[in-house]
Chain A
Amino acid sequence: MDPQRREALSEAVLMELAEMDYADFSLLEALKRAGLGMAEFEAEFSSLDECLFAEYDRLTSDLVSHSGAACGAEAEWPTRVRVGLSALLEELAARPRAAQVLIRKFPTIRPAAYERYARFLSDLAALLSDGRRYSGLEDDLPAEVELLAVGAAESLIFTQVDGGHAERLPEMLPEILFSILVPFIGPDRAADEMRNAAAVG
């Protein structure tokens, strides 16, 4: 399938899942949205589930790459986190239905789907790996400090997306940033970064 048609299929599948529950998902409707025929779909995928899982993997992989790429390599670690987080929040705000699919509609399908969501969070946690060294407290911090930080942010993002308020995420950057940084550098330094983020924003 050529990239443009693949992209159209991707968008159509995500929109259909955003609007319907999995049980009511209509592949025909999604293909109609994308301007594709069943034969073309079947040449690419053996089942709806294979397609949905592939699309979810693309969505999460793109989000992780987009956030990681935005960080840059030269700035101080908290600044890199801020820039990467900003990229993620802007993307979720710009694509609220994709955000709904990300945190609710897809994980709901079955445990194997939820596990993809958990893997996405682990992939984001890996982006924070430099924080331990930056903190100067490598051996003292919890073994799971990166996942603790991502989980903190996720709980705030989840509330907004699930409530249909993904558009608010960029303005919440300062407090979400605080929640990510605080287990690494403590509340005083995290508050400084929060204030800096508010000033930049």
Chain B
Amino acid sequence: MGVSGSTESIALPSDRSRLIEAMARSCAKRGYAETTIEDVVDDARLGRSDFDRHFASKEACAVEAVETILGKTMVVISAAYSADMSETESTLRGLRAILELFAARPALANLAMIHSRQMMPERGLAVYESGFAVLTAMLSRLRDNLGGEGEVPGVAARAAIGGAEAVVRRELLAGQARRLPQLLPDLVYSAAVALLGQDEAFALAQRARELQR
């Protein structure tokens, strides 16, 4: 089943994508530190030479796995935005699309949300931060569009997204990725309340509930 009706839109050579998926699964099971290249090739049902042909190191494969899910995230966000819809509507649909993507690809989501941030070498964190920046930009556009006012600290957007991410990570850890789309209203509230106020945040959460029907 595609995400929001879309089909896989990033074509990768089959062996490479199998290795990436296998890396994600192995990290989710064993953690990056204790995952070996042998674990990955065994899971992918490929040989060590296949791995070496595509990746210079374990880290290179893991980083590319994170970049893969980030790339897919950008695709689903872009697909959600439309000139025929309001900025608000596009943002809500974009967030819904991200949650649906993560629900459909839990191992890659785990790699992006948990491993890249705290369980991989620094390059993983750099990719995570670039994804974080995309979400921050979405939130800032929404605030500009809705005219958020009031004194909020400069770190409010980061904190708002951080709150939502904590709940997403908890679900991924619990093996409940399929529940992620149901969390859309609460995550929208968390993302919006600091920058737009409680009334607007509740209204957006309600709109998110309607989108789920």
The chain A residues found within 8 Å of chain B, CB to CB, are 21-23, 103-104, 107-111, 113-115, 117-118, 121-122, 137, 140-145, 147-156, 158-159, 162, 174-176, 178-179, 182-183, 186-188, 190-191, 194
Contacts and interface: CB of A to CB of B under 8 A. Distances in A.
B193 interface: yes
Chain A at the B interface: SS class: helix
Interface string B147-185: 000111111101111111111011001000000000101
B118 A155 contact: no
Contacts of A142: 185-186, 189-190, 205
B79 interface: no
B31 A179 contact: no
B31 A186 contact: no
A171 to B, nearest CB: 12
A121 B166 contact: yes
B28 interface: yes
Interface string B7-35: 00000000000000000000011111110
A183 B163 contact: yes
B189 A151 contact: no
Interface residues of B, number: 44
Nearest to A194: B153
B167 A148 contact: yes
B47 interface: no
B118 A148 contact: no
Contacts of B185: 142
B163 A174 contact: no
B33 A179 contact: no
Contacts of A183: 163, 189-190, 193-194
A103 B190 contact: no
Contact of B155 (A22, A175, A188): A175
